[in-house]
Amino acid sequence: MNVRLGPWSMRLAPRSLAVTALLLLIACAVAVAAISTGEFTVPVPDILAALAGEGTPVAELIVNKLRAPRVATGLLVGAAFGLSGAIFQSLTRNALGSPDFIGFTAGASTGGILAVVAGGSAAVIAGGALAGCVITAVLVYALSYRRGVQGYRLVLVGIGANALLLAANSYLLTRSNIYDAATAAAWLTGSLSGRGWDHAIPVAVALALLLPLCAYVARPLRMIEMGDDAARAMGIRVEPVRAVAIVAGVLLCGVATAAAGPVMFVALASPQLARRLTRSPGVTLASSALMGAVLLTASDLIAQRLLAPVQLPVGVVTAAIGGAYLAFLLRKDRY
The whole-number pLDDT of residue 12 equals 61
Residue ranges per structural domain of the chain: 2-333
The whole-number pLDDT of residue 93 equals 82
List pLDDT tens digits, range 182-231. Answer: 888 888 888 888 888 999 999 999 999 999 888 888 888 888 777 777 77
Q: How far apart are CA 242 and CA 292, in angstroms?
A: 22
Q: How far apart are CA 98 and CA 128, in angstroms?
A: 21
The whole-number pLDDT of residue 311 equals 74
3-state secondary structure of 16: helix
* Per-position b or e across 138-162, b if 16+ CB within 10 A of its CB: eebbebbeeeebbbeebbebbbebb
The whole-number pLDDT of residue 231 equals 76
Share of the chain above pLDDT 70, in %: 91
- Is domain 2-333 classified as CATH 1.10.940.10? no
**CA-atom Rg of the chain in angstroms:** 20
Number of C-beta neighbours around residue 281 at 10 A: 10
Q: How far apart are CA 162 and CA 104, in angstroms?
A: 7
The pTM of the full predicted model, rounded to 2 decimals, is 0.89
DSSP string, 321-334: HHHHHHHHHHHHHT
Contact 263, 315 (CB under 8 A): yes
The whole-number pLDDT of residue 101 equals 85
The whole-number pLDDT of residue 8 equals 47
Cis peptide before 309 (omega within 30 of 0): yes
The whole-number pLDDT of residue 334 equals 53
Nearest to 180 by CA among 113, 132, 126: 113
3-state secondary structure of 3: strand
**Any idea what DSSP says for residue 283?**
-
Contact 46, 312 (CB under 8 A): no
List pLDDT tens digits, range 28-42. Answer: 999 999 999 888 888
Mean pLDDT in runs of 10 for the chain (335 residues)?
Answer: 48 78 94 89 88 84 90 95 92 83 89 86 86 91 77 83 91 86 84 88 94 87 78 80 88 92 89 86 84 94 76 85 75 60
Contact 192, 74 (CB under 8 A): yes
